Structure 1
Amino acid sequence: MTSTDRRREFGAYLAGLRRHSGRSQRQFAAALCAVSGAQSITRNEVSRWERGERIPDVWLPAFAQVLGVPLHELEQAAAYARGDAQATLPGVAATLADLLPDGEELKPLTAPRGRRIGATTVDGLAARVHGLRLADDVLSGGDLIAPAFRELRAAVRLYRESEHSDETGRGLLVQIGELGQIAGWIASDAGRGEDAERAYRLGISAARQAGDAVLVAQLAGSLGYHMTNSGREREGLKLAQAAVAVSGPDAPAATRALFLDRVAWAHTRAGEPQPAMRALGAAHAALDATDGPPSPSWAYWVNREELEVMDARVLTELRRPLRAVPLLQDVLGRYNATHAREVALYRSWLAVALADANEPEQAAEEARRVIEASGDLSSERTAERARTVLHRLKEYEDVPEAREVLADHGHLLLA
């Protein structure tokens, strides 16, 4: 892990503490000034700390007082940001290395010593897993990473250390697979790429042992999507295509559509427009199918609206704004406003598409919305998209609206 990654994780940790205190960045800066007697702490300074640009060593006692957090925990977190190999971020699951020895398959201990469990325990775990999914609709990765990885560790230990029937064991493996997927997604959103990959790979192992091909495909596709967005487009494309193959032509309609959408995005990022457009068409055709098996609960969010968002993202990436802009405007007009991260992400694509359409004034307006929303989200996805939008606006520095946004928020490009 690079020093930049550590500082960004530290910044996300500080941002999470601040949000849990119920303060905006401006309110937090004012509170720090009040307890320290200084007048030099501004919202922009808080923003720099939360992006990991600076480590606020001298202000840590004031942080502790305002946030009600033990000073030694903040000092430990700062040491982690500076690269201390012995330090960790308090309250955050750093890795999955403690779950299983290197290279060992997920399996029960040869001599279980725990209590015997049954279907009721599996049902309770399934309810908590679904609760995490629903929480992810309205919260960001930095807010959920600790509970997600705590649940994943507990589920693995329950499977390995309890006594259970083969049927119950399979049920536990399915839930570990689903937990691996949502934990991986949350870790990726929090900017913790290595943890995301570990979670996905653990989930794949569990889903394979459970014999759940569609869940294996969901995890492989999720890992491929993460790779596609991390500069490994060819690896991501191979995994996305493997997910379609593993799930087969008779997979539930929503899941097949989701897997094909990921193929479309991977082709797009790999610079292959025609295969991307074909995959989009296949995704829509798959969703129209009515004769397949019912969709699993984890695919509840896959619908026509989400496919249209991916259409627009692909069209934006391929520099076809005349088709992308109306799609995004229509979807955003109907989208659930409580899903703040997704709204910010979709607005970021709209901002870029508007810039491509030579509408810099409207692009600047959307960019400001994206940037202001991302400041209140513990999501590396939205932070990265805000930077992307700002880069695009730099081509219109001679337009007053764009120049004003860059003057107010151009420092984000230094992160």
Structure 2
Amino acid sequence: MSSGIGANIRRERDRLGWSQARLAREVCRAAGVIGEPVGRQEVSRWETGKRTPREWLPFLAAALGISPEALTGPQTPAEPPLPTLADYLPEGDPLAPLSAREGRRVGMGQVGDLQQRVHGLRLADDVLAGGDLIRPALRELRSAVRLYREGAHTGEVGRELLVQIGELAQIAGWIASDAGQHAEAERIYRLGLGAARQAEDHTLAGNLAGSLAYQLSNTGREVEGLDLARAALHGAGPDAPPKARALYLDRVAWAHTKAGGVENAQQAMRALGEAGEALAEDSEGTESPAWLYWVDAGELQVMESRVYTELRRPLRAVPLLRDVLSRYDATHTRELALYLSWLAVACADANEPEEAAAIAGRVIDLSRDVASERTAERVRVVLARLAEYAEVPEVMAVLNSVTLESKGPETLAASGADPLAGRKS
């Protein structure tokens, strides 16, 4: 039997958007057996090559809607395939329930309580920075995983718990990234992706994968970020809610922007246009997950303005950023600092160093007490851009004030982590 059978199984499963648990159920259904003699772990062993399907091969092929030969033959892709979301699952199975299953009974009431806490954490992230929220976020995540693994619950309750673990991992990963803990954030995102995949929530899986792709693009791993952003969009499929597709397309646009080059710039603009079209399909009757509450035309405008700034097209970026900033108040300190930092850079690109310096001074003031590595990185970017106009008196005053206060931009920037970002996009 071909050594590539595991890769073929995984490819076909991902084509259908099924989890390993779903494929296991479909194989048992195709075989007409009662119970589940094939489970998720057995499918995992097939895909990793630890076992071969043998007698299950005809039923596996029938479940996937292909011939057995298509599974046992060599892979011959026409072009290098995108990575699948399964490639980003955590090592082992950190969500495996404990075998005894003698823990306390968990019902929908506990799921509802967890859902409220997850949403509360999201709302807190709107006004607080990662450094302030990292401890409670990780504490909630550990508690939720323990509840799932150690509690006794029905299949329906278990699935809802997995969904909440996935949602909690997304916001906890975002918070960890904002706090500058990028390795920890990646582990959290991967855990959440595993939970979402087991729960067969493809929209949530796309959000987690897109969030990780966003971090990769911003931390020197632009190629990986672009591949994963595209895989997140592809994995969610065309039936994802319009708001979700708009969000995924926004992240694809940013990944193309960070990857650099003329072709990627063109792809970024195309993705922005498609994001706007996707959002236009949203209506009051469209059902979207609650965590998409913040995705609207204004958020697409935020990303559009940042893309234009990164592409050094200030004539387009500046009006958009000023419009965005007119809608934010002092309670959103981090977002104000971030968006103002982009405006400062855009003004510098427009050869308006005096205006850039005035805005930079406000960025520095806002960032001083914000425990966010994102704002700290933006301070570094702004100061580096202003240094090109060091002979301008207003610019010199800003640079000197930073030097006097913190003995160098590096020290000031250490107060807080990763470029851009606003909200949870």
TM score, norm. by length of structure 1: 0.74
Is 1:108 the counterpart of 2:100 in the alignment?
Answer: no
| 1:110 Cα deviation from its structure 2 partner | 1.1
Counterpart amino acid of residue 107 in structure 1: A
Distance 1:105 1:290 in 2: 36
2:134 aligns with 145
- Secondary structure of the residue aligned to 1:358 is coil
Distance 1:282 1:338 in 2: 32
- Secondary structure of the residue aligned to 2:294 is coil
2:290 aligns with 297
Counterpart amino acid of residue 362 in structure 1: E
Alignment counterpart, residue 226 of structure 2, candidates 237, 261, 264: 237
Alignment counterpart, residue 317 of structure 2, candidates 324, 327, 350: 324
| 1:372 Cα deviation from its structure 2 partner | 1.1
User: Over residues 60-111 of structure 1, what are the superposed CA-to-partner deviations in whole Å (9 max), with x where a residue is unaligned?
Assistant: xxxxxxxxxxxxxxxxxxxxxxxxxxxxxxxxxxxxxxxxx96225121111
2:401 aligns with 408
Counterpart amino acid of residue 381 in structure 1: R
Alignment counterpart, residue 149 of structure 2, candidates 129, 152, 160: 160
Is 1:381 the counterpart of 2:374 in the alignment?
Answer: yes
- Secondary structure of the residue aligned to 2:326 is helix
| 1:140 Cα deviation from its structure 2 partner | 0.2
| 1:320 Cα deviation from its structure 2 partner | 0.2
2:53 aligns with none
| 1:339 Cα deviation from its structure 2 partner | 1.2
Distance 1:337 1:374 in 2: 12
| 1:249 Cα deviation from its structure 2 partner | 1.6
Question: Contact conserved, 1:351 with 1:389, CA < 8 A, in 2?
Answer: yes
Is 1:269 the counterpart of 2:269 in the alignment?
Answer: no
Alignment counterpart, residue 369 of structure 1, candidates 362, 370, 380: 362
Counterpart amino acid of residue 220 in structure 2: G
| 1:181 Cα deviation from its structure 2 partner | 0.5
Question: Contact conserved, 1:341 with 1:377, CA < 8 A, in 2?
Answer: yes
Greater than 4 Å deviation, 4+ residue runs: none
The farther-off stretch of 323-332 and 404-413 is 404-413
| 1:244 Cα deviation from its structure 2 partner | 0.8
- 1:9-408 equivalences under 5 Å are 103-271=92-260, 272-290=264-282, 293-408=286-401
Question: Contact conserved, 2:134 with 2:172, CA < 8 A, in 1?
Answer: yes
Question: Contact conserved, 1:251 with 1:293, CA < 8 A, in 2?
Answer: no
User: Over residues 103-136 of structure 1, what are the superposed CA-to-partner deviations in whole Å (9 max), with x where a residue is unaligned?
Assistant: 2251211112211011000000000000000000
Distance 1:111 1:231 in 2: 44
The farther-off stretch of 391-400 and 110-119 is 110-119
Question: Contact conserved, 1:263 with 1:276, CA < 8 A, in 2?
Answer: yes
User: Over residues 159-185 of structure 1, what are the superposed CA-to-partner deviations in whole Å (9 max), with x where a residue is unaligned?
Assistant: 000100100000100000011101100
Question: Contact conserved, 1:391 with 1:413, CA < 8 A, in 2?
Answer: no
Question: Contact conserved, 1:116 with 1:164, CA < 8 A, in 2?
Answer: yes
Change (3 A) 1:264 1:102: closer
| Runs (5+) with no aligned partner, structure 2 | 1-89, 415-425
CA RMSD of aligned residues (A): 1.3
Question: Contact conserved, 2:167 with 2:192, CA < 8 A, in 1?
Answer: yes
- Secondary structure of the residue aligned to 1:334 is coil
Question: Contact conserved, 1:214 with 1:251, CA < 8 A, in 2?
Answer: yes
TM score, norm. by length of structure 2: 0.73
Counterpart amino acid of residue 267 in structure 2: P
- Secondary structure of the residue aligned to 1:376 is coil
Question: Contact conserved, 2:243 with 2:282, CA < 8 A, in 1?
Answer: no
Counterpart amino acid of residue 107 in structure 2: G
- Secondary structure of the residue aligned to 1:257 is helix
Counterpart amino acid of residue 402 in structure 1: V
| 1:413 Cα deviation from its structure 2 partner | 3.5
User: Over residues 333-378 of structure 1, what are the superposed CA-to-partner deviations in whole Å (9 max), with x where a residue is unaligned?
Assistant: 1224311111110000000000000111110011011111111100
Distance 2:383 2:293 in 1: 33
Distance 2:251 2:103 in 1: 41
Distance 2:257 2:350 in 1: 19
User: Over residues 297-322 of structure 1, what are the superposed CA-to-partner deviations in whole Å (9 max), with x where a residue is unaligned?
Assistant: 11111111111111010000001000
The farther-off stretch of 122-131 and 364-373 is 364-373
User: Over residues 14-35 of structure 1, what are the superposed CA-to-partner deviations in whole Å (9 max), with x where a residue is unaligned?
Assistant: xxxxxxxxxxxxxxxxxxxxxx
Counterpart amino acid of residue 153 in structure 1: R
| 1:138 Cα deviation from its structure 2 partner | 0.3
> % of aligned pairs identical?
65
Question: Contact conserved, 1:390 with 1:413, CA < 8 A, in 2?
Answer: no
Structure showing greater radius of gyration is: 2
Counterpart amino acid of residue 281 in structure 1: G
Distance 1:165 1:340 in 2: 43
Counterpart amino acid of residue 199 in structure 2: A
Counterpart amino acid of residue 396 in structure 2: R
